[in-house]
Structure 1
Amino acid sequence: MKVLLLCPKAFETMEFSVFIDVIGWARNDFGHDIDVVTCGFQKTVISTFQVPIQMDILIDDIIVSDYDALAIPGGFREFGFFDEGFDPKTKQLIREFDSQGKPIASVCVAAFLLANSGILKGRKATTYHLHQGIEQQKLAAYNVCVVNEPVVIDANVITSYCPQTAPDVAFALLEMLTTHEAMLEVKHAMGFEADS
């Protein structure tokens, strides 16, 4: 199996790294045949806090049928996260994954990329919840049924409301790709509360 980890410029490294680590533990320590492939608009993507990250593949070279899931970290608007996040190529990529019913996991404001693509219309989702819920109100304007909970799952789509929830999103994605029991095993091995 392969997870495509889409990294628009100004993505948050904490929200990116959880997918690498959770899937890495599942593969390395528990034998789950899952790889993470990083993807960007350029070969080197500059994250929110100016850390350059080398991508495995460019968005133009993606063939959706080669992948089993899509993961997207959030990022900072003021550093240009939505420039590539709202690009037509991003929209099309998200729509293709959704039309094939493949898991799509997003952290924090990456939910806006899903909403902008149209796949969240009439569905339950969440996004950044602090500052009087302003971001959640903006998400609701896309005809999204906003739920003020840390992680919201609607069919194949996972959304969450802040960086603190990033590991939970990665574990939810792992569960979709394996089993509940396999996810708990990895979660416990990584030192998280396995019963949550």
Structure 2
Amino acid sequence: MTKTLLLLANGFESYEASVFTDVLGWNLYEGDKTTELVSVGMHPQLKCTWGYSNIPNKQLDEIDLNDYDALAIPGGFEEADFYQDAFSSDFSQVIRNFDDRNKPIASICVAALALGKSGVLNNRQATTYSFPNNPRQDQLAAMGVKVIRDKSLVVDKNIVTSSSPATALDVAFWLLEQLTDSQNVKNVKARMGFK
């Protein structure tokens, strides 16, 4: 059984978190049954981007990071204070822990900025939110990252980054493949109705 840490910043985008819960949850019930997901936050109650509340399974100070095999991070909105948690030293320390152990790190959209802030993407390839005239890719490049601007999904060693919420399911399936294998991903996709 593998255990994935779903790291939630205050102001996270609920859809981007839900793809990890769904894909790994479908695998737990209908796939090879080896993936456990634990949501973790730095507050007892988190607000999502669109204004409703979320209670994570655990608090960051309650867990041992070495008990986890992978890290998943959804993005969020500045207007919902996402970057206050996502750019914090505690958040960065979690990211560095997983990268130091060469564990899979799956990030969606602007969650790549938290990775950039932590330093794990220094001189590595990545992407982030890419809507025209939006500053996020330039912001990521200023963090020492080699930003790939024409790809929606960028994998560099153990880390995947993506360019928008539209990529969220692709990121979640990438993570499932890292934790299991490509045939299992095909089986889970088929059970979920993907053709």
The TM-score bracket by the shorter chain reads over 0.9
> With structure 2 as the length reference, what TM-score do the two structures score?
0.96
User: Could you tell me which amino acid in structure 2 is paired with residue 60 of structure 1?
Assistant: D
Give per-residue Cα distances to partners, 1:73-105, cap 9 Å, x unaligned.
000011100001111100111000100000000
Task: List runs of 5+ in structure 1 lacking aligned partners.
Answer: none
Task: Work out the percentage of aligned pairs sharing the same amino acid.
Answer: 44
Q: 1-side partners of 2:66 and 2:104: how far apart?
A: 13
Instruction: Find runs of 4+ consecutive structure 1 residues off by over 2 angstroms.
Output: 131-134
Q: 2-side partners of 1:138 and 1:86: how far apart?
A: 13
The worse-fitting range, judged by mean Cα deviation, of 136-145 and 115-124 is 136-145
What is the aligned partner in structure 1 of residue 101 from structure 2? 100
Instruction: Give the drift of 1:62.
Output: 2.5
Instruction: Give the drift of 1:61.
Output: 1.9
Q: 1-side partners of 2:88 and 2:63: how far apart?
A: 15
Match of 1:161 among 153, 158, 163: 163
Matches within 5 A, 1:1-196: 1-148=2-149, 149-193=151-195
User: Number of residues paired by the alignment?
Assistant: 193
CA contact (8 A) 2:110 2:129 kept: yes
Q: Alignment RMSD, CA only? A: 1.0
Q: 2-side partners of 1:79 and 1:45: how far apart?
A: 11
Task: List runs of 5+ in structure 2 lacking aligned partners.
Answer: none
> SS state of the match for residue 71, structure 1?
strand
User: Could you tell me which amino acid in structure 1 is paired with residue 21 of structure 2?
Assistant: I
Instruction: Give the drift of 1:192.
Output: 2.5
Q: 2-side partners of 1:157 and 1:192: how far apart?
A: 25
Q: 1-side partners of 2:59 and 2:47: how far apart?
A: 14
> SS state of the match for residue 71, structure 2?
strand
Give per-residue Cα distances to partners, 1:27-86, cap 9 Å, x unaligned.
101232111100011121110011211111111122111000000000001110000111
Instruction: Give the drift of 1:133.
Output: 4.9
User: Could you tell me which amino acid in structure 2 is paired with residue 56 of structure 1?
Assistant: N
